[in-house]
Chain A
Amino acid sequence: MGRPWKSLKIINRRHGVLTLVLLLLAGLAGMALIPQRSVLTVDEMAAWQAAHPFLQQVVGEWGLDRIATAPWFLLLLLVLLLALLGSLASQATIALQRTRQLLAGRHSGREGQAALSSPGNGAEASASSVPPGLWRLPAIVACWGSPLFHLGLALVMVSSLLLVTTEQRAVFRLHEEETQAGDEAPLHEEHGLFARPLALPGAVRLEQVRPEYWPDGALKQLTSYLTITEGADSRHCRLAINQPVVEQGVRLQQLENYGKAFFLTISSQASAASVALLIKQPREAGRAAYGTFIFPASPYEIKAKYQPWSPADNGPQNNLLTLRLENDKGVEGQLLLALGETGRLGPYTVTVRHVSNWAEFAASHARGRAGIVTGFLLIILGSALLYLYPGSGKGPGWNNWIGCQPFCL
């Protein structure tokens, strides 16, 4: 006891809680108004920094472009959680006292109403008696509305913190017949403070990607067929958007990014290279798909475009690829090729060898999901008890709603 206990008491006092809430608001306002690294792509961030050099200096110096992962922000959330737990304890104590009083039936008339009202909440106590007989039961249950609400909030916060610190997530992109080895670096990886990078449940091979479309060309569903191989054992699974699969505790999800992969041979007088262009299909139906690729060991950039198939076309999938070769001087060449064709693009000869589909997947492992869902249900239950109990001894009546037990924080 001593200083730590006194510190806990400070954060539970009204000024302490107010300070914490204001600090949280300031942090959130910073995240809302200042571009954050966790949200923007590297190129978008670089563009903002180039456009705002002075702001970038200030923002970079104070770490305001990564508030969500700043230690002070996590500490603030922890302290808020402690304050919430303190509030929960006092709410539960009050609810327990009222429950005992109601069970004992010690109060009636105005005394009963005073026992039901929280001190200092500014509500007018309506002149009604403690509910007699069976009506006492709903009154007892309703006493627990506020503690349940606080418990739900606390559970959500604890589960969120657990999730953030132990979460493992990886995004990988595969074209058909490509395999992602278990130890191969994914496209994108993130893990919590106390977690290691995610290990896939074996080598994952994408067998087929099958998109389905609505009549207007919009995506209806995206289904992928995978084979997961671990040693001599292999398993087949089917993924679709919103239809994940769990393999050895790892949740595999179909993401909505997909498109066409064009495999090219690009040759010059000196050498030849095999290049795979993975172009993302836009979400809007009927729009062309574009991609920009750096041509390795050259001053060039390749801009690629293809027109996705539309059901209205009544024809086979459109695999026509438009290529444009650019450098800092401008456009050096342009070419339109179908599968199997060869053409001249600037100083290079290009052949389209093969076309297939690609898709992105997420693999994740997270603890705390059950806590978040349970907390969610407790919040709903607590809110329902706070607002749907009429608060008057005369039974349900919306005219009494204004005078019922007010929302207590």
Chain B
Amino acid sequence: MNSPLFTNTVLHWGAVFLYVLGTIATAWGIIFQRPGVEKAGFRLMVPGLLMHGLALGLRWLDSGHGPYMVKCEVLSSDAWLALGLFLLLARFVPALRPASLIVFPAVFLLVAISLFLNPAIQELPPTLRSIWLVFHVAFYKIALATLLIALACSIFFIVKSRWLQVNWLGRLPELPALDLLAYRFTSFGFVFWGIAMLSGSVWAYQSWGRFWGWDPVETWSLLTWVGFGLYLHLRRFFQWAGEKAAYLSILCFLLSIASLFFTALIESSAHSSYFS
């Protein structure tokens, strides 16, 4: 009962409980136009985030390395960073708050899934002991968090433009603002994704003696980055906006999920031996 894994699991479940309550309250507040309930929902997420952060911090101390070795800690830390970044941005950009309808459920689902995976601590292999790995993982997590917000804005754009008669959708920002937010966050994610890829290349050279080997994970990551580049190019030079831009953004997000979570499972990938 006193084992670190037990403490970690209890803290995670506590965070999930608070996240679920916060999500319900926020959704209720937005849909039924109760600003007080919405605010309470946001406030509930903060102690959840702190509890979640404490769980990750304790695990970091126990394992001696960051949360990027085992699938459960990868998903958990992705969720924590996404939520932390979203709460920070929503504090200063109130127009983002309705995106909580997508971000909050995504966060608690990620944490819940991580709790059903093997939580055993894995020691860091010598190849992964490099500061470049920390940059590589951190930048990918930030990119994913911002792309998640962009996804929320794109989904809201499509929903609002098609179901204008639904009352609560009026609480969402205006369509041009949603469109612009999706553009901004996608470009932010694009930059961080590129930086993450480059830091991975530098780390690969340090560990394996080659910058780029067309590994499946590397190829899919570059494919995703160029996909987002296409989106930005179409917006910038062809004035793509509205629904077609939103659909393209969603497609690129799905590519990013495949790239981050599924291609590492391909056996021929150098990443698979560490993360399978």
Contacts of B184 in A (CB 8 A): 402, 406-407
Q: Are A283 and B273 in contact (CB under 8 A)?
A: yes
Main SS at interface, chain B: helix
- Contact status of A169 and B233, CB under 8 A, knowing A218-B123, A241-B126, A369-B205: no
Residue B256 at the chain A interface, CB threshold 8 Å: no
Residue B201 at the chain A interface, CB threshold 8 Å: yes
Residue A295 at the chain B interface, CB threshold 8 Å: no
Q: Are A21 and B195 in contact (CB under 8 A)?
A: no
Q: Are B125 and A256 in contact (CB under 8 A)?
A: yes
Residue A125 at the chain B interface, CB threshold 8 Å: no
Chain A residues 237 to 266 lying within 8 A of chain B, measured CB to CB, are: 240-242, 244, 251, 253, 255-256
Residue B213 at the chain A interface, CB threshold 8 Å: yes
Name the one of B201, B207, B219 contacting A28, with C-beta atoms under 8 angstroms: B219
Chain B residues 162 to 218 lying within 8 A of chain A, measured CB to CB, are: 176-177, 180-181, 183-184, 187-188, 190-192, 194-195, 198-199, 201-202, 205-216
B191 nearest CB neighbor, chain A only: A383
Bound complex: CA A241 to CA B130 (Å): 10
Q: Are A32 and B220 in contact (CB under 8 A)?
A: yes
Stretch in A175-183, A340-348, A371-379 touching the partner: A371-379
Q: Are A283 and B125 in contact (CB under 8 A)?
A: yes
Q: Are B123 and A256 in contact (CB under 8 A)?
A: no
Using a Cβ–Cβ cut-off of 8 Å, how many residues does chain B contribute to the interface with A?
Answer: 60
Residue A49 at the chain B interface, CB threshold 8 Å: no
Chain A residues 355 to 409 lying within 8 A of chain B, measured CB to CB, are: 362-364, 366, 369, 372-373, 375-376, 379-380, 383, 386-387, 397-399, 401-402, 406-409
Q: Are A14 and B237 in contact (CB under 8 A)?
A: yes
Contacts of A376 in B (CB 8 A): 195, 198-199, 202
Residue B268 at the chain A interface, CB threshold 8 Å: yes
Bound complex: CA A14 to CA B230 (Å): 11
Stretch in B27-35, B108-116, B221-229 touching the partner: B221-229
Residue A156 at the chain B interface, CB threshold 8 Å: yes
16 A-B pairs within 8 Å (CB atoms) are namely A14-B233, A18-B234, A25-B223, A25-B226, A25-B227, A28-B226, A36-B214, A39-B215, A120-B236, A120-B239, A149-B191, A163-B211, A218-B125, A241-B207, A253-B209, A398-B92
The interface of chain B, by Cβ under 8 A from chain A, is 89, 92-93, 95, 122-123, 125-127, 129-130, 176-177, 180-181, 183-184, 187-188, 190-192, 194-195, 198-199, 201-202, 205-216, 219-220, 222-223, 226-227, 229-230, 232-239, 241, 268, 273-274
User: 5 smallest A-B Cβ distances: which pairs?
Assistant: A398-B92, A241-B126, A407-B187, A362-B209, A14-B237
